[in-house]
Amino acid sequence: MTSLTEVSSHWPTQVSLTSRQEALGLTDTELRRYGRGFGLSDICWDDTESETQSLLAAVQKLSLLRGREDRVRYVLRAKTQRFTSPYPLSPLHEVRREAGLRHARTFALTEQACASGLLAVDVAGMLLAEEEDPDALALVLVGEKAHGRISQVLDGMGITGEGTAAVLVSAHGAKDRVLGFATRTVSVGDPGLSMVDEAFVRFREMYADVLMEVVGSALDRAGLTAEDISLVLPHNVNRIAWVRLSDRLGVPVDRIFLDNIPRTGHCFGADPFINYATATELGRLDPGDRYLMVSVGLGASFAAMVVEH
């Protein structure tokens, strides 16, 4: 059974949203909306830190990777943006080399936007299940740099941050076992980060219904209901969206982990894993707890994963 052997995260420098107002081109009204309405305060953002450095910082926090580098068969990069570095630079291969994983088969997953991270864990588990060595591991890298306003501001939704996460995956681990996973992609005719008005309207209209459908599928595959979920680890787009979805999810707001939204911003596909790292540090998960990881990407892709801690 696919399991999350270890999860680590890295936060670049936290800066206030107010200090980024001019750079992001936000009016005073927009700043108030993102701050007071959406619950954003600080953003993880550092223009002096490269994408390689940010990803590598998360990998270096994986204590269970040290001494087990030879067990890593795959390195997967889950990406929201197709390209964040000019050819021939490749943060993915640079991290693989610096982490001593030259032997691992390495590739990226795209076209799932911010849902790519959860999908990458599922793909890693399937690949490892075909390995003869039960101790084989995969490393999933999530999070990226936000270059330019088009990737830093999700108009009417949130502000992106540059936090990253590294996830060690096993096919036969006993820790944090994946009980159910579901994903769905629905075309809105515009898969980019900056959707045209018509595509955005379609995305907004279908958002809650498709998300509930995907969450329901993941719960069904796990043989559970929303009442069995101890904690929801969401994508950190904004607070108000999750407060509104609470009733439909059947999970009280206090069981939706929203602590990082005012501290990190929306860190692309890394959000659920960053939230996991923080929640475990805070003692929000006990052995045996079932939690739900959720992420949605523009375009539109939806993913939900049920895990037993």
pLDDT digits (tens, 9 = 90+) for 220-253: 999 999 999 999 999 998 899 999 999 999 999 9
pTM for this prediction: 0.94
Q: What is the arithmetic mean of pLDDT over 255-282?
A: 96
pLDDT at position 194: 55
Distances in whole angstroms, Cα of residue 171 to Cα of each of 38, 97, 135, 148, 255: 38, 24, 8, 38, 28
pLDDT greater than 60 at residue 102 = yes
**Secondary element (H or E) of residue 211:** helix 197-222
pLDDT at position 197: 67
- 18 with 152, same domain: the answer is yes
- 186 with 124, same domain: the answer is no
- Domain limit, last residue, from 170, 192, 223: 170
- 139 with 21, same domain: the answer is yes
pLDDT tens digit sequence for 148-188: 788 888 887 889 999 999 999 999 888 899 999 999 998 77
> What is the spatial distance between Cα 143 and Cα 92, in angstroms, rounded to a whole number?
11
Q: Domain of residue 145: give its range.
A: 3-170
pLDDT at position 171: 96
Strand locations in 11-119 (E): 14-16, 42-44, 72-78, 105-109
Greatest extent of the chain over all pairs of C-alpha atoms, in Å:
58
Contact yes or no for 261/76 (Cβ under 8 A): no
> What is the spatial distance between Cα 202 and Cα 267, in angstroms, rounded to a whole number?
23
pLDDT at position 26: 92
Number of domains in the chain: 2
- Domain limit, last residue, from 146, 170, 194: 170
- 202 with 271, same domain: the answer is yes
- 117 with 199, same domain: the answer is no
- Domain limit, last residue, from 113, 139, 170: 170
Q: What is the arithmetic mean of pLDDT over 118-134?
A: 96
- 160 with 193, same domain: the answer is no
